[in-house]
Amino acid sequence: MCGLLGLVCASENDAVKARDAVGRALRCQRHRGPDETDTWADGEVVYGFNRLAFIDLERSHQPLTWGPPEAPTRYTLNFNGEIYNYRELREELAREHGATFATEGDGEAIVAAYHYLGPDAVRRLRGMFAFLIWDAERRVVFGARDPFGIKPLFYAQGPGGIAFSSEKKSLLELSDVLGVPQELDRTALQHYLVLQYVPEPATLHADVRRIESGTSFTVAPGGQLSTERYFVPEFAARPVPDAAGAEALHREIADVLRDSVAKHMVSDPDITVGAFLSGGIDSTAIAALAKERNPNLITFTTGFEREGYSEVDVAAESAEAIGVEHVVRTVSVEEMMEALPLIVWYLDDPVADPALVPLWFIAREARKRVKAVLSGEGSDELFGGYTIYREPLSLAPFEKVPGSVRRLLGKVSTRIPEGTRGKDLLRRGALPLEERYYGNARIFRDDQLRGVLRTFTEGVGHRDVTDRWYRESVGWDPVARMQHVDLFTWLRGDILVKADKMTMANSLELRVPFLDPEVFRVASRIPLEQKITKETTKYALRRALDGIVPAHVLNRRKLGFPVPIRLWLRDEMYDWARGIIADSKTDELLDKKAVRALLDEHRAGTLDHSRRLWALLVFMIWHGIFVEHRITPEVPEPQYPVHV
């Protein structure tokens, strides 16, 4: 787990000019790899690297050069991530192709696989990754990002060349070298205020983009980027199994998860791997399976001193049942407010998910004890865990109503006052799936956004983001279609961004065993009836984990790390929020009078605007940091040991 930076310049002269800027850009992501920093150059190509070392600590330095015996320095790798099947891959390449290796790490496995297998090698990698391989013979860079988008990879291209980085802020340091302006993407802002995150491949800077998940690419000096999707997931459910078939399915799920957790615990013997533990089934399952491999496992959780907004007690009960050492970090509202500007700086782009704040605090606490943690991200998308996935069952009666009547019901819903019970059910029941579902977070509706966003553009909406994924899932059952949309929107836009950014901010590696190609292979074939029932979600997973997770967790609804912003914005955070609004120089973009009105209406208890307010406040802080340069968080220098 590290931070990479790579420039493919238009000319060698541009590369020479870039080298000083590379040093500044690397300092922006020092937190991603405090163990080692190095740079490398070859003609038009310049690499920079910050290493957080886990495997082969003494030899697998980066940038890493490898080649076959006849050309031992042909390739140079810049790689962020972990390859969990690298040992098997190295053995296969040595056996079948005569590959030789100078280290014991996973980096050489990537380069050797590319040399012997070509671009298809990326399909053989089981892990999380973003990498660049410079081929000095062909004078071209080949790169890829992992199938689910666990590891980030930003890029910016201008007259001076193209640059790639694990952090967007590093690319902003290179904007003069590349000849790229730092202009705000107003369409991306509109999407953010609807979705809670900026959807891939966009960022809030118009000229900085993201390599999408499951995508490989090539680029030559002075050339254009060429991309190809190598991972096209398909939820191809099998027929509903009989009792024996269901039992076999549940065993297969348990077996593949056990194998994935075991592989995700790979590290140097000196490195300690822990686990995050909330009160839900996903993190508890990962911790229980990890305990099978490491009897000395340490788990970590966080909460608040607010009744109903903490899973600390449930997590502690789970830790005791599993038999692991458990660490709790309680976060105060004052700490939330103080830390938020620094957290937004680490984020690169705003993500209006309050849960990322306690995640930052617990990652900070965990890094005192371990260097990597396992976590349960991805389970809901693969196994059908979100409560909203049950919506097709509740809306089934609407499917029997003629279209004209459904449209009439939709019009009726608009006349019902906001906050009235049943209004949203009626509105959503009148809409087809493609119109009503665009992920777990729905912050502003268009009618609400028009009154706040001065740059609101008619015709820009969630279907700009989701239609491509719905087109890929025509003919699937509605829950599978929702899962598919979430894989490419909510998961990689919110869940994995906050997971990567908040842990790496603390030089802590987070590993997600659910997001494994082999786990997906099994999960993608689960029939609808084994995912969602009228009583529960993730039915097959729950049955598979019976006997692995404690009974008090098996059928419990997951809360994650709930944050009481609804209450705090009415009380402790009210003056703080008014101060952010008053100081923000976003008048050209937002109607600040309307924003203050939302805050006052929320305080009065008329309506719950907490999520909309949080999205606006996080954006205002982001704007103060990256556009106005008025807010300058004090970024601590990483001071963590190489071994813990």
- Spatial separation of the C-alpha atoms in residues 565 and 353, rounded to whole Å: 11
323 is in an annotated binding site: no
On whether 413 is known to bind a ligand per the annotation, the reply is no
| Residue that has been written with the tokens 């994650």 in this structure | 560
Report DSSP letters for 40-79, one per residue: EEETTEEEEEEE---SSTTT--SSEEE--TTSTTSEEEEE
Question: Which tokens is 151 given?
Answer: 């590891």
- CA dihedral of residues 121, 124, 128, 133 (deg, nearest 10): -10
Contact assessment for residue 258 and residue 292, using Cβ atoms and an 8 Å cutoff:
yes
Write down the residue that tokens 């348990």 correspond to: 254
Say which residue the tokens 């039915």 belong to.
Answer: 539
Q: How far is CA 240 from the centre of its chain?
A: 32
Q: Is 384 annotated as a binding residue?
A: no
User: Please, are residues 158 and 24 in contact by the beta-carbon 8 Å criterion?
Assistant: no
For 258, residues 6+ apart whose C-beta sits below 8 A from its C-beta are: 289, 292
* Residues catalogued as catalytic: 2
Percent helix, strand and coil across the chain, each to the nearest 5: 45, 15, 40
The span from the CA of 509 to the CA of 644, in Å, is 12
Phi, psi of 513 (to 5 degrees): -60, -25
Distance from C-alpha of 412 to C-alpha of 426, rounded to nearest angstrom: 8
Q: List beta partners, residue 510.
A: 373
Strands across the sheet with 45-51, in order?
36-42, 45-51, 2-9, 161-165, 154-158, 208-210
Binding residues for L-glutamine: 106
Q: Which residues are annotated as a binding site for ATP?
A: 375-376
